Amino acid sequence: MICGLVASTNIFPSAFTSFSNLERPKKLLLQWRSSGPLPVHCSASSPRMSLATETEGAEPPLTGGSYDFLSATTSLTEKMLECPKKVTLVRHGLSSWNEESRVQGSSNLSVLTETGVMQAERCKSTAEVIWKGREEPLVFLDSLKEAHLFFLEGMKNAEARAIYPREYTTWREDPSNFSVNGVYPVQKLWGTAREAWREILISPGKDFLVVTHKSMLRALVCTSLGLGPERFRAVDINNGGISIFNFNTKGEAMLQALNMTAHMYSDYYYIY
């Protein structure tokens, strides 16, 4: 059975608008307010069911989804939240450095390609498209920055492998132990990811959309599930990929969906 997420607020436009100012995707946190719980609709014959709740004695949803994940993971907030929360994570579209097989990082020199524009737009422009007409301001978090990879940033992978063989091999095969002058970018990224989760989850509201970068998304997914930086490459997120988390009032996470890309295929924007 194939389920489609139906939201009272149109979060993801079916067609993407091109913009002339294509800067490097930026970190971004969006919050939307919906008039009610987000329902899941499974086939034309089944009723719409509210997503997982914490109501004691609640029956399992007809979709077969879990409604009780107490203590499944470690609290990311170490404090009680005002209500259960839902966080949707999105990776930006294909950038020029993706296409040229360059080492990405925190640099602003990489811009979206034409394909990337069609796929999702850069983070800030995506936010502006989604948020058009709403009164609440967009929120940008420094804690959602991409990892800083120092001299490797912007180099083509083949060049980096030839010029810095030891450092490049460590970055590719043992990223958690990749270091420059005593700085461990991936280990540092895990700390900023935990900070980002706290900032997001203690913010007022129930539903959040976060648009950011691949390495940060890997860190967000892993930290929410209690995985350390040595698991950095255990998770992959495609350009335009969508991941969804539910959080209970203790700040414990349940991964509901990872790296969904069907929307990119159905709209003919996902060609890789």
Please identify every residue annotated as catalytic.
92, 146
Choose among 141, 158, 257: nearest CA to 201: 141
Helices vs strands, H then E, count in the chain: 8, 8
225 φ, ψ (degrees, to nearest 5): -100, 5
> Whose structure tokens read 């879990």?
66
Structure tokens of 144? 């959602």
d(C-alpha 79, C-alpha 246), whole Å? 16
Strand partners, 198: none
Q: What angle do CA 11, 141, 6 make, to 5 degrees?
A: 15
**CA dihedral for 29, 30, 31, 34, sign (positive or negative):** negative
Q: How far apart are the first and last CA of the chain?
A: 25
d(C-alpha 105, C-alpha 201), whole Å? 26
